[in-house]
């Protein structure tokens, strides 16, 4: 009886832990074979970029006009949808203007550091 419970435990652990990880690895390996110059990708660190060149395991990734990073191919997590990349890029823009006056006329209330309150 104890051996049956132990076998059930190992089978459950296999199904819950190992099988999903193997699927994820297969999907990532498939992605690595499909990458081409010109693809918009997301790195595992969250950096968006466009592939400019691929040489075996090294990728030249353009992250901004004129700014290229030399990365390992495995650092790429996924291909980016164009609309997703545009939405995320516009959402991350922060207004750092020197306007200290809040909408209600009190100086410094709209500053993130709380200066002027």
Task: Give residue limits of the domains in the chain.
Answer: 1-34, 37-90
CB 100 within 8 A of CB 116: yes
Tokens read off for 77: 């997590």
| Angle at 86 (CA atoms; ends 82, 90), nearest 5 degrees | 175
The alpha carbon of residue 4 and the mean position of all alpha carbons in its chain are separated, in whole angstroms, by 43
Residues whose CB is less than 8 angstroms from the CB of residue 74 and which lie 6 or more positions away in sequence, other chains included: 32, 57
pLDDT digits (tens, 9 = 90+) for 57-107: 999 999 999 999 999 999 999 998 744 545 555 565 555 655 555 555 555
Closest CA to 30 of 78, 70, 71: 78
Q: So what's the pLDDT on residue 83?
A: 40
Q: Rounded mean pLDDT of the chain?
A: 81
Region 26-44: mean pLDDT is 92
Question: What's the pLDDT score for residue 1?
Answer: 83
Architecture of domain 37-90: Roll (2.30)
> What's the pLDDT tens digit per position in 69-79?
999 999 999 99
Confidence of residue 26 (pLDDT cuts 50, 70, 90): very high
């Amino acid at each position: 009886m104890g051996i049956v419970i132990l076998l059930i435990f190992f089978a459950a652990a296999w199904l819950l832990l190992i099988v999903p990880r193997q699927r994820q690895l297969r999907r990532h390996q498939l992605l690595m074979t499909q990458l081409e110059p010109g693809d918009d990708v997301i790195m595992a660190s969250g950096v968006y970029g466009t592939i400019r060149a691929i040489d075996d395991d090294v990728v030249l990734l353009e992250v901004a006009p004129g700014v290229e990073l030399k990365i390992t191919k495995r650092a790429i997590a996924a291909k980016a949808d164009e609309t997703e990349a545009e939405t995320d890029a516009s959402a991350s823009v922060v207004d750092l203007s020197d306007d200290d006056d809040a909408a209600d006329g009190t100086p410094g209330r709209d500053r993130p550091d709380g200066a002027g309150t």
